[in-house]
Amino acid sequence: MSEPTEIRTQSVIAKRRRTVLKAGGTLLISLLTPLTARAAQILAVRMWPAEDYTRITLENDSDLKTQHFTLKNPERLVIDIEGIDLSPTLKSLVAKVQPNDPYVSQIRVGQNKPHVVRLVFDLKEEVNPQVFTLAPIAEYQHRLVFDLYPVNPPDPIAALIREGKWSLDDPVDSGLSSPTPPLAENTPPFAEPKPGPKPNTAPQVTRMLTIALDPGHGGEDPGAIGRRGSYEKNIVLSIAKRLKAKLEREPNMRVMLTRDGDYFVPLGTRVQKARRVNADLFVSIHADAFVKPTANGSSVFALSEKGASSTAARWLANKENAADLIGGANLKNGADKQLASVLFDLSTTAQINDSLKLGKAVLQEIGGINRLHKNAVEQAGFAVLKAPDIPSILIETAFISNPEEEAKLNDNAYQDKMAEAIAQGIKRYFAKNPPLAKGRMM
């Protein structure tokens, strides 16, 4: 090959190499550009209307930034979500509005500008909106949450008044907006009758008894899920409603449910509701789950000051206490943190002793309809049992993770038997522990 020909060949090869490299670089840029500029994807939208508040949840594959403001005449909430484009999933939010939603009449969704979607909530009344994000947990990815609270929150006593079960003469807790006054040393806020040689001579007080029933989980938090797809939150709500009906057949008993529908209630709010109505008892209802499907039986738990009574009790308490993270409590809210701190610090020995008596009475009755997982009341640090002045128990009605017990829990007859057993246990407790007269809680 001559020298000019060799030079031309090398020049052609070099040009081709530059062309290939340039094309490769262009291809690499075209592949990387969508990744860096890609809008976040909305995976699911959910809506949870309730008298307490309405919650709207957007589940997505990344953390989202928002701006929001309200408008008057008519009342509206406007939310701009950055980094997303309008999608069929997001558009489906429009159809999620239910006619009986107390606070939202309709939702409008549109592309406000590139990569910014605007949501407009047409409201039925003025609300205090809380907009916050939740990090991935359990089965959920990132969540953007809008909680629409009424400016005038519903009072749990109002429902009892509407039902004709509350009079103006009843004592009322003023709430936890101000600290509870300090007690004299060694004086429990929920005192038992002083022991003596004639314990039955203590005067019995005839008055209305207020029972707070707490169906566990709800809304974003399904609780345990059975192999057949049963949700704990639905089963325990059904049992709680049956139990409410049975207790209210008694002439001196009335019941307040911490939730009466499928919506999330933070643990501290459940306790606060019970204290607001000056409850005599607090009964939290659940359906247990364990990694082994063979685990079975019913259990009753009380609070512990010194640690869990067993490893299983500690494991269960940790799982139940995670409800706020799964359900989506707005932990950035300073009031929620303050409330939790107050409740956690005021638990007393007297409250725990009364809770153990209540738990024993209920456990004996439940043992008549189902195998007991443990023959004694167990104890652990359940956050929902930390009302300082109310005997409180948590009932695990059965193992929803056990296929046989899951079938029982879905059976109307079993639910009714469980409700009847708990009711009988509560009545047995009061028969042995007559209620004291209650003054107005301050």
The yes-or-no verdict on residue 33 having pLDDT over 50 is no
Cα 131 to chain centroid, rounded: 17
- What is the average pLDDT across 266-278? 93
Q: Which CATH architecture has domain 156-184+202-432?
A: 3-Layer(aba) Sandwich (3.40)
Main-chain phi, psi angles of 117, to 5 degrees: -105, 135
Orientation of helix 232-247 relative to helix 412-432, angle to 10°: 50
Nearest to 306 by CA among 381, 376, 391: 381
Both tokens assigned to 82 = 């950055």
Q: Is 337:137 a contact under the CB 8 Å cutoff?
A: no
Tell me the per-residue pLDDT of 156-172, one tens digit each, with 9 for 90 and over. Answer: 887 888 878 787 666 65
Q: What does the pLDDT read at residue 22?
A: 53
| Mean pLDDT (the chain, rounded) | 83
Distances from the Cα of 296 to the Cα of 20, 231, 247, 287, 399, angstroms? 67, 17, 27, 11, 5
Token pair 């209540």 is found at: 358
SS3 (DSSP) at 330 = coil
Q: What does the pLDDT read at residue 187?
A: 34
Nearest to 235 by CA among 254, 248, 217: 217
Q: What does the pLDDT read at residue 172?
A: 59
Token pair 């639910």 is found at: 415
Query: In what order do the strands lie in the sheet containing 65-71?
Result: 65-71, 76-82, 116-123, 104-113
Sequence ranges of the chain with CATH classification 3.40.630.40: 156-184+202-432
Q: Quote the pTM value.
A: 0.80
- The CATH code of the domain at 42-150 is 2.60.40.3500
SS3 (DSSP) at 373 = coil
Both tokens assigned to 364 = 């004996």
Sequence ranges of the chain with CATH classification 2.60.40.3500: 42-150
Q: What does the pLDDT read at residue 88?
A: 95
